Structure 1
Amino acid sequence: MTQAEGTDTEHDIATALKELGLRTVARFCARCERYAPYGLVARLVPAASGPGFEVVACLPCARLLATHPDAPDWLFEDLARLYTAPAWLPSALTPAAER
């Protein structure tokens, strides 16, 4: 079975994100509750005892969460790296308005 022309494989997308230095997490988005195979960590929640946890957001929700005044600096920086990436970025990661 051959891959259709112009489609990106999971490996292509994962490789592109790794080359950009982004750490993604495959979980459900905390905002829209959809599965986010390339979710970004939008917040770290500390716990009184034991480890805290990560709040994960899909790319569209992460862009919205980055506009909040209390958003962590790394979220804005990760999104900036993603959306100013070179042309080799897989089409699945480009903003919908640009497709």
Structure 2
Amino acid sequence: MLAIEFEWKSGVAARDWSNVAKKGHIEVMELELKKLFDTVTSIHDEMFYLREREVEMQDLNIATYSKMATFSFLSIMVCLSVAALQLWHLKSFFERKKLL
């Protein structure tokens, strides 16, 4: 049996910080600051993405509410129209049979 494993990394986790420290000869504090800056940048980008999604979801919610209100109004109108037609039909039926 053959097993294949993948390890996906994105954002701050994708950077190899040990190589960054070796290549740049950076002090430990600078390295930590760069990590924190990348983390904050990642969180900031995620927040903007979530705000955009929130606006999209609000627009979708408003559109859905509008469609449901229209559908409900049309359903009530159809029910009232059918009731009126039934009353008219029954009245004419009973008048023909001379029961009214």
Instruction: Tell me the TM-score range normalised by the shorter chain.
Output: under 0.3
**Radius of gyration: which is bigger?**
2
Which TM-score applies when normalising by structure 1?
A: 0.21
TM-score, normalised relative to structure 2: 0.21
More strand by share: 1
Name which structure has the greater RCO, CA cutoff 8 Å, separation 6+.
Answer: 1
